[in-house]
Amino acid sequence: MKDHLRLHLCFCLQYAEVWLFPGTPEAGLSASYYNTSGLNNKADEKVATLKGHSLWVLSVAFSPDGNTLAGDRQATIKLWDVSNVQGKVSEMNENRTIAQPKEKAILKGHTNAVWVVAFSPDGKTLASGAMDKTIKLWDVANGKERATIKGHTGFVYSVAYSPDGKTLASASWDETIKLWDVATGKEQATLKGHREWVSSVAYSLDGKTLASGSGDKTIKLWVIAGNEKQKK
């Protein structure tokens, strides 16, 4: 296993699986399609299987402290406590097993498939984007919905928090990127320029630049500074 985090999403016909390869520095995460989610060690030996996903798993995300794993399944999201698995491969017994992850909560509220999940930098909030054209913010501690953000006219494919956690960027089938004030849920800006659906967004580490990828075969960089949002 390479010394980096690997994320692969494979679309097949019958499977949905998420695998974690704990260990330092050989940690890795892969998502494929098996109707389960699994945690593995660095030798690709399965450490744990997170069962309960009856349909596609399109997105997975770790909380910043690494103790919670979020995974979507159709219109719901599951939160798993993986604190007993992360970094504990060395504690396996002679049967090569360790304590299994525990399901913490099932988050319900979307009316169509959830496409993406992302934790806020402080790990207290989970954002989800879905095919119902909405973004939802969830309280990680109690699993309750904090807010529903509406504004896109197409599927929401990607969401990303700014490094300070104050702004959420979203990418949509409607060919736009929107910036939202996390505290109020109000739209700050709509970034237009792509000619096809926008599939992904990501902030730079300093939060001053936003990158977006699209079905128009381009990546665009946007300057995010105060109230000015413009394409580089």
Please tell me the predicted confidence (pLDDT) of residue 184: 96
Show the tokens assigned to 52. Answer: 């309960």
Residue 191: CB atoms within 10 A of its CB come to: 21
- 154 exposure class (CB count in 10 Å sphere: 0-12, 13-18, 19+): middle
Mean pLDDT of 86-102: 55
Residue 50, amino acid: L
Helix (H, G, I), strand (E, B) or coil at 139: strand
Q: Residue 43 carries which DSSP code?
A: T
Provide the CB-side half-sphere exposure for 213 (13 A, CA): 9
CA distance 42 to 80: 20
Tens-digit pLDDT profile for residues 19-32? 444 443 333 333 33
Q: Residue 140 carries which DSSP code?
A: T
Q: What strands, in cross-sheet order, belong to the sheet with 167-172?
A: 156-161, 167-172, 176-181, 187-192
Tens-digit pLDDT profile for residues 145-192? 999 999 999 999 999 999 999 999 999 999 999 999 999 999 999 999
Please tell me the predicted confidence (pLDDT) of residue 57: 80
**For residue 90, pLDDT beyond 60:** no
Check: CB of residue 110 under 8 Å from CB of residue 75.
yes
Tens-digit pLDDT profile for residues 205-230? 999 999 999 999 999 999 997 644 55
Q: What is the mean pLDDT of the chain?
A: 77
Domain spans of the chain?
1-114
| Max mean pLDDT range (22-26, 50-54, 137-141) | 137-141
Please tell me the predicted confidence (pLDDT) of residue 53: 55
Q: What strands, in cross-sheet order, belong to the sheet with 145-150?
A: 114-119, 125-130, 134-139, 145-150
Residue with more model confidence, 47 or 110: 110
Please tell me the predicted confidence (pLDDT) of residue 55: 62
Share of the chain above pLDDT 90, in %: 55
Strand pairing partners for 62?
69
Helix (H, G, I), strand (E, B) or coil at 161: strand
Range of lowest pLDDT (2-11, 39-48, 126-135): 2-11
Mean pLDDT of 43-64: 71
| Max mean pLDDT range (54-58, 70-74, 87-91, 125-129) | 125-129
